[in-house]
Amino acid sequence: MSTLTPHENIYNVPNILTFSRLLAAPMVGYLILHNQHLYAVSLFLYAGLTDLLDGYLARRYSLQTVVGSVVDPMADKLLVTIVVVCLAANGTLPLWLATLMFGRDASLGLAAIYYRYASLPAPKTFTRYWDFSLPSAQVYPTTVSKYNTFLQLCLIGATTALPLVTGQQILGVVGVEEAVKGAQYVVAATTLWSGASYVFLKDAVKILGEDEELKRRQGFRGRAIIGWSFAGVVGLAGWFWVREGKESVVEEGGSR
């Protein structure tokens, strides 16, 4: 037992802010489903501001931890996932885009489960698996993934606030609804690029340990999990997109 990986001090302000975002995510979803748009937007802004603040504090006061590197993007993804599902449920976000955004995160989540178990120092017990003060693998979000997360947050934030500003004009030329629809395709493109980056870039996940051959095999398996699962997601999202296009054509034909 004396050779086990030492525990980190995970009880600091940046991590507390990060965990508060985890708690805020389901509350935002609840507010969206119950059409409490003003409160939903306010809590969404809180999550965005704490995301910036915890990162600044961690860097400024050298409070970075492995658990923070894992939970911080997890909090972002949980917020995105819950809000995306709720927006799709009430019809304000296309199902094909919701599938693509949710599916990419699900693919990364499957890989994260594998990475955590495969790289956890022995003994691999259920209790130790969920003890995130025991570092095993560290995630380094790819550059395009960072931009993609930012754009996703902007899109779902704008979509959440859309009922509050419907009918307004941007610069008196482009309607808000049209601008949000255009942003949907930008986010779709960056989501595809981001998912592919985790498949092909080998340095996105750093597996701790000294057995380089084992780490190489674990990295390959993790990327394969992302690749195959994300390919299925893209296929399903494409099917929804085609179906939505056909339904739009039928509706336009019926209205003439």
Say if residues 101 and 153 touch (Cβ distance below 8 Å): no
Residues 6+ apart with CB under 8 A from 14: 54, 55, 57, 58, 63, 68
**In the prediction, which pLDDT does 10 show?**
66
| 118-154 pLDDT per residue, tens | 777 777 777 877 776 666 677 778 889 889 988 988 9
List the chain domain ranges: 13-255
Angle between helices 66-89 and 37-60 (to 10 degrees): 170
Residues 6+ apart with CB under 8 A from 192: 100, 234
The per-residue pLDDT of the chain, averaged, comes to 82
Confidence of residue 94 (pLDDT cuts 50, 70, 90): very high
- Statement: the pTM of the whole predicted model exceeds 0.85: no
Query: What's the token pair of residue 18?
Result: 């990060």
Q: Is the pLDDT assigned to residue 4 strictly greater than 60?
A: no
Q: Hey, which of 146-150, 168-172, 197-201, 226-230 has the most confident mean pLDDT?
A: 226-230
**Assigned CATH topology for domain 13-255:** Four Helix Bundle (Hemerythrin (Met), subunit A) (1.20.120)
**In the prediction, which pLDDT does 169 show?**
46
